[in-house]
Structure 1
Amino acid sequence: MTTSLSRTMRTALVAIGAAVQNVEAGRSDQDELDEMALVCDRLAQVLRAAAEQTEALEAEVVAVVIEP
């Protein structure tokens, strides 16, 4: 991962953390809550798909290594 992308991802995570704190403190309006929920749902879907793909690739590599 490039340094620029790493910084961007860290910045995004800090922003998400701040958004969580704002929600917990009751400082978000309904539109903000709805938008955050949509973004977080999409992020969760993408992360799950990436994890499944990684597991599938690992299984294929193991199968190739084990089979003669």
Structure 2
Amino acid sequence: MLGGKRHSLGMSFYEPTVVGNVSNDMLLFREEVFGPVAPLIPFKTEEEAVHMANDTNAGSLTISRAAIV
């Protein structure tokens, strides 16, 4: 995880946060988050990514692909 610290503006604010290795059974995947949070969800195929994107209640979702080098 990167970020996630409280912001200097007070208790209601926190820094942008990136959370790695999120799975589709986690609340972070299933529920829409109103805040600066980016979950990183690994997938093996494009079909798996599309299935996961369609299997969520979240309003918007971005899918990016990167290769392991």
| TM-score after normalising by structure 1 | 0.25
Q: Identify, as 1 or 2, the structure richer in strand.
A: 2
